[in-house]
Structure 1
Amino acid sequence: MPKIKRIVPMLVLAAMLSSLTFALACGSETIVEVTREVEVVKEVEVVKEVEVEKEVEVVKEVEVVKEVEKEVAVEVEVTPTPVPLGYTDVPRNRTLIMAGLGGEHPGAFTDIEQFNAHAPGLSRSGLYQAASEGLFYFNMLTGELIPWMATDYEYDDGYTGVTVNIRDGVEWSDGTPFTAHDVAFTLNMANTNPLSARHGAVNQWTDEATAIDDHTVHISFTGPSPRYVWDLLIFRADIGVPWIPKHIFEDVPEDELAEFGHYDPAKGWPVVTGPYRLVHTDVEKKIWDRRDDWWAAKIGFQDLPQVERLIFLPGMNEITMAQLLITNEIDMAFSLTVPNYKAVVAQNPNMTTHYYGEPPFGYEDWWPVGLGLNTKRPPFDNKNVRWAISYSINRDEVIEFGFGGGQIVQQLPWPYYAPMQKYHDEVADLLETYDTSEYNPEKSAALMEGEGYTRDGEGFWVKDGERVGIHIVTFPQHPSTTPAAPVVTQNLRRGGFDASFSTPTDFIDQIFQGHADGFIWGHGSMVDPEPVLKGYRCELVTEGEIGFIAYPGFYRWCNEEFDSYVEQMTALPEDSPGVLPLYRKAMEIWLPELPDIPLTSTIITLPMNTTYWTEESWPHNDNQYVHEGFWHRTGLHIFLNLEPVE
């Protein structure tokens, strides 16, 4: 039997960390430190090997430790930190402080002076969701389409182009009107300049964008493209082309686009359309202050947000975020496991979640996760081995021990949103035969033995003298992937696979370039499965096993018949009834092949602090004006709806 390691996947508060004082956010104030007794709950899962019965017994221990912090009887007068860039003090109940982003930039920002939305590697720290705006927004929880900087659109006959009407009165922060010329310039630049981070998405279907007048832009396509608006022009989650000011970027040489930072405080850069302007940037934080001359308020389209200042902090571990929530030094955190959320609430009851602090706590994100494999690398090119790996994973254990019960089992790589339900139902009969959630060690062993594998002295599968090794990589800190990694690894080892995992800072490069055997990654669909399925197309599979970037085809799986059905889906509008039968045909191939192993949903338990912001104004399951992903492009709608506690 393989040696089973002790698993401690859930980080819970253990020690008081040094507090961050946001004097620059709150102004001068007196802080009184008070003695208090803190109860620290630590959950430990112990995986224990039982040699006689050859099974694994899982034991959960709960240890309660009471600590008394240092006694302090003095009042400490905090002197405000000198304010950089000339911005003024803002009350704490007008300052929204967010930590964690979407998992990227752990520990520190690296894009300190980069605010060019078409440069690679930008963090989601305000530019996309506070300073940029979409022509349209889409609420992924309700399915509502919200016209914003545009009023409407109309496709040409045969979906060979589209006309978009721009709202009158939209302005850039320097007073220059935002017009159809900005839209046309952005699309044409991204289409023709491969240095644009949007080039791949725009170039596939864009022929030319033309400004008919200031308020009308026509976009001609390279071929029929009924999904063009959905794919490029609607802000939803991380999707949607960010618009850039023509009057600034037209002077940037094409070969300097990626290096151009669009950052010069003396010039008022970055120039934006959103209700916030950049006032500070360094490795520790990005700060944006409200613009009272925001176009939407000037024309009566929207009220000015009551959030006057936004502070974005980089990615950090759960212990740090939990401590900052307890001491009210942050308002939102991406994100906590359920046990850690409960530990925070025990010490600071002024917390809420999407379900008001009750199960399932968080909102269902568009990004369910799976275990991906480099299917160009033997033995992962063998579908029977892939199914054997799937059968060896107990997803209930992954959810219990990795997430404290805060996820649900996922059979398909898309969420259970209302528009997606018909696609789950369509293949329900196929899932009875190809149950992607089934835990069955006997089936796993039979498949491996059928492929000529035997177990060695330590219980690992071996063939021709080589073990089946699986090294898994994933995010250093992500609520739906990182906690799963150790539990999935232990399941695989128990099933005879020589598995290990790591969370390296270059995990994306390892996945995209094929260096990783396996990876825990997510998938995004909201109204139909086509966006996920087209990520498995042959054209995305690069030559060679290692070193060639394959995005989003990093599964490196190819089936030409499958491709034909997906291509026909792409040729139809996302809401066309003709998508369903094509989807069925594609899944009749995908499920037996299993190029990607579904694991769990992504239920994001994101604490929202009610100390400074009213509970009623946060997004909840009964008030889903937006989901609470503040790092997404739709985060603007949180900032516009929050109301301060007076």
Structure 2
Amino acid sequence: MNDAPRPQFEDVAEVVRHQLSRRSVVGGGAAAMAAFLAACSGGGGSYSDKPANKPAATKSIQIGKANIPVPRDQTVIVGQVEYTVFDSFNGMIPNGAPSGAGFEICREAMFYLSFATGELKPWLATAYKYNDAHTELTINFDPKAKWNDGQPLTANDFKFTVLLLKDRPDLFGGGGELKEFVKEIKIPDEHTAVITLTKATPRFHYNFIAAIAGGFDILPEHIWKGKDPTKYKDSSPVRTGPYKLKQAIRNQKMFVWEKNPDYWAKDKLDVGPQYVVFQSTSKQADQAALAFERAEFDVGSIDEQHAKQLRNGGYPNLQTTQFHDPNPRVMWLNCDPSRGVIAEEKMRWAINYCLDRAKIGKSIWPVEVPAAIYPWADYPTNDKWKNDELADKYKFEFNPQKATELLDEICPKNSAGKRIYKGKEVNLEIITASPVDGGEYAIANVLKTDLAKVGVPATLRSLSGSVHGEKFERGEYDIDSNWAGFAFDPAQMYSDWESSRAQPIGKNAAGKNKMRFKDAAFDELSHQLAAMDPTAAEAKPLLDQALEIYFQKLPLLPVIQTGYPSYFNTAFWTGWPTDDDLYEVPLNWWQHFIFVLGKVKATGQKGPA
């Protein structure tokens, strides 16, 4: 890589896997993010806004009176999760900030990377560049950027935030890569930061790109300097975004955000709604869906079951937009020899042949989704990492006969019909953090049934989050039905699978190589790739070689892409992202939602008096 600024486009896969597999620079861990994504998602049925059978007559709607303190026709109302924190927006401490309460439209990112379009938008920062050795990273900041209290945002705010977090593992986002890679930061002028790195890396800038919820949160030094970051609540957050907090109303479980008339980037983003309200919806699904039907919410407040009823009833204002989560659902397979037969690559391929991905995608996951073959989301921007010749050579298919042939080689049946491996009966342990009515449990149950048909009994247990997390990290499982959570590009993902990161069974893996995979050739390829720009031409052959070892050894099994629908009501606002015009990620708890608010238009509908 040379010193020229990077282009305006970036690969979604590279960034998101980095951010999902590590604590984001400010915010909670990947597991919390996964839980939050699931909590905010709808479930069940089809994405289509057309009735399943013949169309019903268009239904007239009755507009309900939304319980908000601002004019309805100037307000977008977002139905969200149950809030418990109302007086703090400090995301660096446990329970320091409410999730999905609208802070995402108040704070802004240095760069935005859109899964919907693949575009990288410079925002608070205008460019970045490395030196040839990838030991120095220069970031330029927009001289127009300013905080919502009128003070300018400068490179000193960036330096202050990084140094605040660098040596603080007690803070969310503290320690980690900042501690590992940041040697010093110089500020040659108020709009330029030069980071000297402790070692070469072409990927450090990914820490400062918003690709998912969470991400790096630049703090205003003039507000935070001298504050104890473990105690300061930041209850009236000063940030740079197009909205400011107007009020938090605890008894209504509501946050009201108001358009900032002095927003610094109004020339490139003029948001439409004067107000945006984020409000907890009713715990009763029927009541929450009725509120959506009465247009008391513009976003969310409905699940797929009730959305399907509205479609079939001819409800005219429902818009459903599909979007695949960055994480395919996968089976993690324990490769440690002490776990027995699961350590055999032929056994892992036998399990792969027992995965009925088509059935799972059509009838098990709440919405119909495609099979996953590669261990990343099926975004077009990920296509460069694929190698379809290898995928065809190591074809994923549901084929119990092939599974049986492999099993007969490595663990043939005894006279009692039990499969035996090294003198012991084969019996696999499958775990998941999913509840028994959850998708990951259902996927595992399908696999368990099909394994039994080829003579491999398995136990399946749903474990609480903390219990599951401990067993998963300690390697006390054979198969884990879970989500991917990999690094941001294949090379970074592969570095987490290196043999040196494989802990003995019983010792915490600390998020690295949780399947205890070991392969010397793979390690060598990973080492070579570590200092390479993954998009460079010389990296592709090495990436393909590592991918082939992955296909051969199968330390984990991608199962399906993860589909979630977003629901919008068009009674008061139109211009939401659609399947045909997915101009931006439709998820209201991601920072990208400001660009959606810049597109929506008021219909002129007035709320009831």
Band of TM-score, shorter chain: 0.7 to 0.9
Q: Distance in 2 between matches of 1:303 and 1:172?
A: 17
Look up the match of 1:627: 585
Q: Report 1:470-549 matches (<5 A).
A: 470-476=429-435, 481=440, 484-495=443-454, 496-502=456-462, 504-506=464-466, 507-508=468-469, 510-514=471-475, 517-523=478-484, 528-541=489-502, 543-546=503-506, 548-549=508-509
Rounded Cα–Cα distance in structure 2 between residues aligned with 1:491 and 1:566: 35
Once the two structures are TM-superposed, the CA of residue 216 in structure 1 deviates from its matched residue by 1.4
Asked if 1 retains the 8 angstrom alpha-carbon contact of 2:110 and 2:125, the reply is: yes
- Residue 169 in structure 1 maps to residue 157 in structure 2: no
Residue 461 of structure 1: how far off its partner (Å):
7.4
1:271 matched to 2:238: yes
Equivalent residue, structure 2, for 1:589: 549
Shift in alpha-carbon separation, 1:568–1:382, aligned structure 2, 3 A: same
In the alignment, is residue 224 of structure 1 matched against residue 183 of structure 2? no
Partner SS, residue 637 of structure 1: helix
Aligned pairs (5 A) from 1:372-391: 372-376=332-336, 378-379=339-340, 380-391=342-353
Preserved CA contact (<8 Å) 2:323 2:564: yes
Secondary structure of the structure 2 residue equivalent to 1:310 = strand
Q: Deviation per CA, 1:188-207, whole angstroms, max 9, x where unpaired?
A: 22222222322313233222
Q: TM-score, normalised by structure 1?
A: 0.73
SS in 1 for 2:429: strand
How far did 1:135 drift? 0.9
The CA RMSD measured in Å over matched residues stands at: 3.7
For residue 212 of structure 1, what is the amino acid of its counterpart?
P
State yes or no: 1:208 paired with 2:169. Answer: no
Task: Give secondary structure in 1 for the equivalent of 2:79.
Answer: strand
Distance in structure 2 (CA, Å) of the matches to 1:334 and 1:567: 47
Match of 1:116 in 2: 90
* Residue identity in the other structure for 2:384: K
State the Cα distance separating 1:470 from its structure 2 match.
2.2
Q: Does 2:257 align with 1:289? A: yes
Percentage identity across aligned positions? 22
**Deviation of 1:94 (Å):** 1.2
Deviation at 1:410, TM superposition (A): 1.1
The match for 1:49 is none
Number of equivalent positions: 538
Name the residue aligned to 1:392.
354
Deviations 1:199-253 (A, max 9, x none): 3132332222222222111111112222222x21211124742212223333234
- CA gap 1:517/1:403 in 2 versus in 1, 3 angstroms: same
Is contact 2:86-2:248 (8 Å) kept?
no
Separation in 1 of the partners of 2:232 and 2:435?
A: 27
SS in 2 for 1:132: coil
CA contact (8 A) 1:368 1:413 kept: yes
User: What is the Cα deviation at residue 599 of structure 1?
Assistant: 0.3
Q: How big is the shift at 1:166?
A: 1.2
Deviations 1:435-487 (A, max 9, x none): 2x311212223333333353897978787555523232134599974653443
- Distance, in Å, in 2 between the alignment partners of 1:583 and 1:498 is 34
Q: State the secondary structure of the residue aligned to 2:133.
A: helix
**Whole-angstrom distance in 2 between the partners of 1:140 and 1:77:** 35
* TM-superposed deviation, 1:270: 2.6
SS, match of residue 159 in structure 2: helix
Structure 1's unaligned 5+ residue stretches are 1-41, 44-61, 63-74, 101-107, 355-361
Is residue 428 of structure 2 the alignment partner of residue 452 of structure 1?
no
Mapped to 2, the partners of 1:374 and 1:260 lie a distance apart of 41
Q: Which residue of 2 aligns with 1:17?
A: none
Write the distance in 2 (CA, Å) between the matches of 1:605 and 1:453.
45
The counterpart of 1:353, out of the listed 307, 320, 328, is 320
Q: Is the 8 A contact 1:113 1:281 kept in 2?
A: no
Q: Is the 8 A contact 1:173 1:273 kept in 2?
A: yes
CA separation of 1:610 and 1:595: change in aligned 2, threshold 3 A? same
Q: What's the TM-score, normalizing by structure 2?
A: 0.77
TM-aligned CA deviation for residue 319 of structure 1: 6.9
Q: Does 1:90 align with 2:71?
A: yes
Contact residue 256 and residue 278 of structure 2 kept, 8 A: yes
The residue that corresponds to 2:23 in the other structure is none
Query: Per-residue deviation at 1:596?
Result: 0.7
- Give, in whole Å, the separation in 1 of the partners of 2:290 and 2:471: 32
Contact 1:460 1:497 in 2 (8 A): no
**Is this contact kept in 1: 2:331–2:559, CA < 8 A?**
yes
Partner of 2:41: none
Can you list the C-alpha shifts for 1:12-44, whole angstroms capped at 9, x where unaligned? xxxxxxxxxxxxxxxxxxxxxxxxxxxxxx99x
* Other-structure match for 1:260: 231
Q: In structure 1, what is the equivalent of residue 116 of structure 2? A: 141
TM-fit CA distance, 1:493: 4.1
Q: Which segments of 5 or more consecutive residues in structure 2 lack a partner in the other structure?
A: 1-43, 46-51, 53-61, 605-609
Change (3 A) 1:413 1:478: farther
Cα pair 2:79 2:297 within 8 Å, conserved:
yes
1:88-141 CA-partner distances (Å, limit 9, x unpaired): 4231661321335xxxxxxx4455554223335665414662222111111223
**Aligned mates of 2:443, 2:301 — CA distance in 1:** 16
- SS for the counterpart of 1:378 is helix
CA distance change for structure 1 residues 421 and 643 in 2, over 3 Å: closer, same or farther? same
Structure 1 residue 611: Cα displacement = 2.4
